[in-house]
Amino acid sequence: MQLKSSIAALLQCLAASATWTAYEEYLSGLPKHISRRPSHRPSLTFKPNEPWNPLPSSPPRHKTCYVHSHDDLKTDDSKYILEALREWGDIGTALNLQFLKHIDIDIQAYIQLTNDTAYWQSHAFNQTFQNATTFFQLGGTDVNVYGGGMLDGNGQVWYDLYAEDIYILRPILVGVIDLHSGSISNLCWRYSPQWYSLTANSTDVVFSGIDVSGYSQSSNTAKNTDGWDTYRSSNIVIQDSVINNGDDCVSFKPNSTEILVQNLHCNGSHGISVGSLGQYAGETDIVENVLVTNITMFNASDMTRIKVWPGSAAALSGDLQGGGGTGRVSNISYTDMAISNVDYAIEITQCYGQNNFTLCNEYPSKLSIEGVKIAGLKGSTSVNYEPVSGYVVCSSPEVCSGIEVEDIDVVAPDGTRNLFECGNVDESLLQGVTCKPVQDD
């Protein structure tokens, strides 16, 4: 079945006023003559790399349901969405869409989530990991979402609220939870309160042609606005997208395996990151078989980043602390990257949250790094750590091996090339890199 969200109907969830910058952007992109016809599901191709494993086929749909709207930019339209889906089959709780099967959702509209922070504190879906919550849960089998529309997380009120209370639970805009075979493509995501998306407990999912953007319009920064976070998921593809945000462009959280990331332009981010991992004592985190390729990274803190917590407790901030977890990072490849005004071209640490390198060595990480290859990295770094352009620091060589760098040409503003801080790493594998000892903060 194809569920069509009409381009003429400006859907809204739970009676919020529009974020006008996003809404005006949406309107400016509308054609002069609006069609009420369903759009065609995008034909997804994979270049230069195919997914780690073949993806299941998704047969064509033969039934179309239209979602109505109050069309007043005030009244909750979520009931209409659920009514349309009930024509297809069973539904869980409100906007808990985890039981969808063989359905396409064609979003051509502007959809905004309410800024009623009190409501979402009690109604958002708790995903447990790092206190993550989501506005909705999209799951099931063989589900495709597309259409060129816009999802607006109405984030400004959350950015301001977080500045007052760092323990507030800020919902994630797109929750892909327990989805097995599906795609999300050709959509705009705007102003998420926290991460833009979380893909958890899912397999065989493709994200393609996603336009992510959103910044604070007040003096309070939009924090933790990762583009994608994967968690306990495998055979995921993230490709052909543009991301303007203020945190990780993509982050591979615990137990992310067989992940392909290609053809992304990231601006303002914290890089494409493995981790953070090893945060929770007694838990095992694994990230392996990850390929990242053909990336441009501008105005960011990092390009390539691996974040592992040390073996003892450490605190990065009041709402982010941990250490002592076990596991491994294995078979990770980053290739063909261009950077401009990035603080660190490469940042690899097993001392995440611990600024005292000596103390980190005393309590080395219980999570190993093995088999990381970084090749084809060109461009310029920022003044932030000048003349240093990279940081590769392990807590002990016993739990960190096989980090390889080749074909690198990274220049600091003063003209220094390929100067890194290095610790407990085999420097002979860092081809073209000049290492200097790491300094405690």
Active site residues: 270
Return the closest-CA partner of residue 132 out of 120, 144, 143. Answer: 120
CB atoms under 10 Å from CB of 1, counted, come to 18
Q: Computed over its alpha carbons, how large is the radius of gyration of the chain? A: 22
305, two tokens: 């980043």
Please name the residue that has the structure tokens 């790399």: 49
Three-class DSSP category at 284: strand
Residues 400 and 402: their CA atoms lie apart, in Å, by: 7
Element (H, E) at 83: helix 78-86
3-state DSSP helix/strand/coil % of the chain, to nearest 5: 10, 50, 40
- DSSP type of residue 130: G
Cβ proximity of 239 and 46 under 8 Å: yes
Residues 54 and 276: their CA atoms lie apart, in Å, by: 28
CB atoms under 10 Å from CB of 358, counted, come to 8
